[in-house]
A and B are shown apart, each in its own frame.
Chain A
């Protein structure tokens, strides 16, 4: 043990010891010289004699050094040095091998980092695996106890309609069941709120959390205290907890903000504490800046939560709060689920008002809360899993490529190996040296791969951030991912080093040394080698074909999405949003404020027209409430609210100001658009689109019809004054939605908060930005502008996922093709080099250049064709799983396959042709002399 430690220390102090030894030996020589001089030898003779006495100085050093460390370590060092020297001698081989490995390992590490951030990273709380998220599911869509809410409901392939939002009374019912959870807590995102901190205005979003939230997550504050159950009651002082990062940027340190007052939507709040660093809420897709009690929503978002005197807290059919619990010790997930399902069933039964509702009751299930809630995961996990499969295929191609290159090199080094074996190296020793060389190569590749990964992660994050604004996941090269990369490259080293190394070490000494043709035609190793490298190339071509076809499908999907007919113009329009209500404006002055602002904006030079609406057309979901013709039977409890609901909203509503249709270039088929006269005092008017008219009025002429809107118990009657052509609202895929446009000035719908302005520009819309800011500042300097971007950018943003995905797939397919072509090139070049003599003889005997080229390429052509065939067949086989990710294109798409095949044939053909052409230029004389 001590010996080990000492040797280890010496290993790190090698340089000092080297110097010590030098001095020690010098001292020895001096002593001997002196001694000899005493014996009366002449001085220079004496020194020479002393040196002679010492013997071979470097041997002494070498032997002494051997005592310092372990001999195997010495040999490893030698092998590594030899490997590095060999790599320097073959820069092309090294570059090709290391680069393909670096790209393979790098792409894998980058994607793994994203997957890790997306799927695996647990919430930064104690024992995250004891957390469970409550969900309800219902296979029925209509006539259910879900009458409306805030949040999202999605289609789950296993459960049907699924959601995490619950009515507040359900939360209270679950709390009574004490045996399952040690604590149960609720939360919901605040929307963007207007914060004023020390005179600075800012828009930020946080989370409303119930009193048990922090206790349930078992978090300890970085400063001050976290929220407690007594904070979450109506009528208590308004308190807020800030996230660590937010507190640091605004108050300089975590603790400095505690006790300060900040104004949120014009309500003063006291900062009581700061969450620990790294905790930004339970939704990894959204970084909460602050946390306030659930009941605080009545103060800061009265429009949504204070209407009807807190009705939302008692309405059992209004779904809006998300729930999570911490399991009691000894209770497992399925026991908890069973008990809670009974509780939920008993409760939800009492909320059914009609017979169909009773027949369509939702069920309850739990999901693991360790990684938080999974909004982002649901959207991105399939694409990222597919991407990770793609990158592992690329790594497979890279590895087989390197195996091929090493096989070729092993053949070229038969002579060297024979010499080594001949002068007495053991086969194990030779094998070890060859494996060391592969390891050094894979270490180099792995190291470069980490650099590629860092670059790749940064690139992906920046791209995502550019598109989504803030990308809340923080993928980084963490320990696990790095370990995975190291394992991949080490494994690769072993894998691709072993076969060629085994073969090289099996070399027959005598024939190779005799210097005869180094490839004896019929010997077993050669047959093996040829077939192995051919199999590898077949695999490479097949995988490249598969990736190319896949990439082609996703590129077509993106094309289809980009060319979807929107029904409105995407060019020359600048969008931005402001929220005057948060700055303190109230009805009816609020509407006047928005109207005046529209007028001022329209007067900016370079603006053709300006308009306003209560929501952008795409990118932010839709509003929806039932609207029916006067006298038609009212639907029973149709969904009502704002959010992203897959189906079930029969009528979508957009309130728009004057000039909306001309600005957006949505053609009116009949009637007029809203103008300045449509104010609260004038007759109530509406414009419907074709889809709504068709669904509700069948063949009747919509013009002049009376229609009725029912929302929140209010009834509004309006006259249709125009019919618009169908245009997208909300989603850009699928059928056109049925839309009723209402007049913004008449303010008949949900009172406006945020307003979206649209400006049609004469030239570059973004050039108007500074003028827009100035106008808004003049109107009210307290109001910040958000979401300033062009309509085109807004639409592109809805396709961020698809765009990224298609680009990555294309990039990976090209990468795969490149690596495969490098391999093909190397193999053909090697074949040509090996058969130089034969080719020379053939040319001398009168073979044409064409015949020689074909000779060199023939084998590759056969191999590539087989690979291509295998790839296409595999693409057929794998069409099912990707179908859900495609849009407007079938998974088996002949044009895509054709393009992929042709691309591959051209690329592979070129890669094989270049060395083959070189073969045809061989001068017979030179080739024969070569021998």
Chain B
């Protein structure tokens, strides 16, 4: 059982969706794999809470951005696989650029040396 890492960052509101979409852009995956992928790719910084993962997946499914189907996992167990829909693929780009804008804006503010008012 890994110790809670102080370097872990709480996910910001609205970022989980783009993380999921981006993960699925690489190909279909089940919930556990999505969480693992995000954790590993972020070098163990971003931990997706299971309590938010599944509601998010189902919400995206309701919106029609991703679709789900049952299939056998590598180990031969039945798993619910998610993949991007055509609509979802379009959204990835839009969400991505939205995030870029946000992160650039954050960077601009944070990197400016404070001046005396």
Q: Residues of A at under 8 Å CB distance from B?
A: 2-3, 6-7, 10, 20-21, 23-25, 27-28, 30-32, 35-36, 39, 41, 45, 49, 53-56, 59-60, 63-64, 66-68
Contact = CB atoms under 8 A, between A and B. Distances in A.
Closest 3 CB pairs of A and B: A67-B58, A31-B32, A63-B55
Interface in B50-95: 50-52, 54-55, 57-59, 61-64, 70, 73, 77-80
B114 to A, nearest CB: 40
Given A23-B80, A60-B50, A64-B54, 18 more contacts: A2-B64, A3-B64, A6-B64, A7-B62, A21-B54, A24-B54, A24-B79, A27-B32, A28-B32, A28-B54, A49-B1, A54-B51, A55-B49, A60-B51, A63-B52, A63-B54, A63-B55, A68-B62
Contacts of B79: 24, 27
B103 to A, nearest CB: 27
12 contacts: A2-B64, A3-B62, A3-B64, A20-B70, A24-B54, A28-B54, A32-B32, A41-B1, A45-B1, A54-B50, A64-B54, A64-B57
B30 interface: yes
A53 B77 contact: no
Contact of A27 (B30, B51, B59): B30
A3 B87 CA distance: 12
Interface of A (DSSP majority class): helix
Contacts of A68: 58, 62
Nearest to B75: A34
B2 to A, nearest CB: 8
Contact of B80 (A7, A24, A49): A24
A59 to B, nearest CB: 6
Nearest to B1: A49
Contact of A66 (B51, B55, B57, B64): B55
B32 A60 contact: no
A67 B59 contact: yes
B54 to A, nearest CB: 5
B51 A59 contact: yes
Chain B CB count within 10 A is highest, among A3, A55, A64, for A64
Given A27-B78, A27-B79, A41-B1, A63 B62 contact: no
A68 B62 CA distance: 7
Nearest to A45: B1
B18 to A, nearest CB: 17
Interface residues of B, number: 25
Nearest to A55: B51
A32 B54 CA distance: 15
B interface, over-half SS: helix
Nearest to B60: A67
Residue among A20, A28, A49, A54 with most chain B CB within 10 A: A28
Contacts of A7: 62
A656 to B, nearest CB: 87
B31 A24 contact: yes
A60 B55 contact: yes
Contacts of A6: 62, 64
A39 B2 CA distance: 9
B50 A3 contact: no
A762 to B, nearest CB: 85
Nearest to A49: B1
Contacts of B54: 21, 24-25, 28, 60, 63-64
A678 to B, nearest CB: 96
Contacts of B52: 63
Contacts of B50: 28, 53-55, 60
Contacts of A39: 1-2
A30 B62 CA distance: 26
A56 B50 CA distance: 10
A54 B48 CA distance: 10
Given A3-B62, A67-B62, A20 B51 contact: no
Contacts of A21: 54, 58
B62 A27 contact: no
B21 to A, nearest CB: 16
Contact of B31 (A28, A36, A56): A28
Quick one: which of A55, A56, A63 has the most chain B CB within 10 A? Answer: A63
A495 B109 CA distance: 58
A492 B15 CA distance: 49
A63 B63 CA distance: 16
Contacts of B58: 21, 64, 67-68
Contacts of B30: 24, 27
B45 to A, nearest CB: 17
A68 to B, nearest CB: 7
B51 A63 contact: yes
A831 to B, nearest CB: 51
A173 B78 CA distance: 88
Nearest to A61: B54
Nearest to A30: B77
Contacts of B77: 27, 30
A41 B1 CA distance: 7
Nearest to B52: A63
Give the most central of B2, B50, B57, B73: most A CB within 10 Å.
B50
B50 to A, nearest CB: 5
Chain B CB within 10 Å, residue with most, of A36, A39, A49, A60: A60
Contacts of A53: 50
A874 B15 CA distance: 72
Interface string B28-55: 0011100010000000000001111011
Contacts of B70: 20
Nearest to B30: A27
Contacts of A36: 1
B3 to A, nearest CB: 12
Contacts of A49: 1
